[in-house]
Amino acid sequence: MSIKAGDRLPEATLQRIRDGVENVDTRALFDNRKVVIFAVPGAFTPTCSEKHLPGFVEHFDAFRDKGVDVACVSVNDPFVMQAWAESQHVPEGMMVLADGNGDFTRALGLEMDASAYGMGMRSKRYAIYAEDGVVREVLVEAPGEFRVSSAEYVLPRLP
């Protein structure tokens, strides 16, 4: 079953690179804040690199002006996520998080089988808005679509 409004975000460990690989607990990351978590099927893939992440980079200040943090999650390793963030000029303060084994993605119930594309288990494309670790809205894309998880769609829906 997929996560829905009113549910707590699941507890899982994600990774990011700061002074080496850092394991971070989702409760520590997402509790006590307003956050949009958006997921992409894969770093460096076309829609993710040409539209999805760039939209959040472009509108990052507008999210911050609303008091909302932004986190990008993908079933990739932290080194790939760091290289992708650097290549996309991700601003300081935007969280780029690796869910290498897909634990967070599975706990959300938002995994997909991308084996037909040589990618194995990946995340569906989505955006979740949460306050203090509680989900307020879940926007999941239909297969092959990119609309409801875009920064341009999510931003005006925020309180």
Quote the CA–CA distance of 125 and 74 in Å, as a whole number. 9
| Cβ neighbourhood burial of 53 (10 Å; 0-12, 13-18, 19+) | buried
- Amino acid (one-letter) located at 2: S
What would the two tokens of residue 90 be?
């991700």
Q: Which of 3, 37, 39, 48 is catalytic?
A: 48
Residue entry with tokens 């690796």: 98
Catalytic, 48? Answer yes
Active site residues: 48
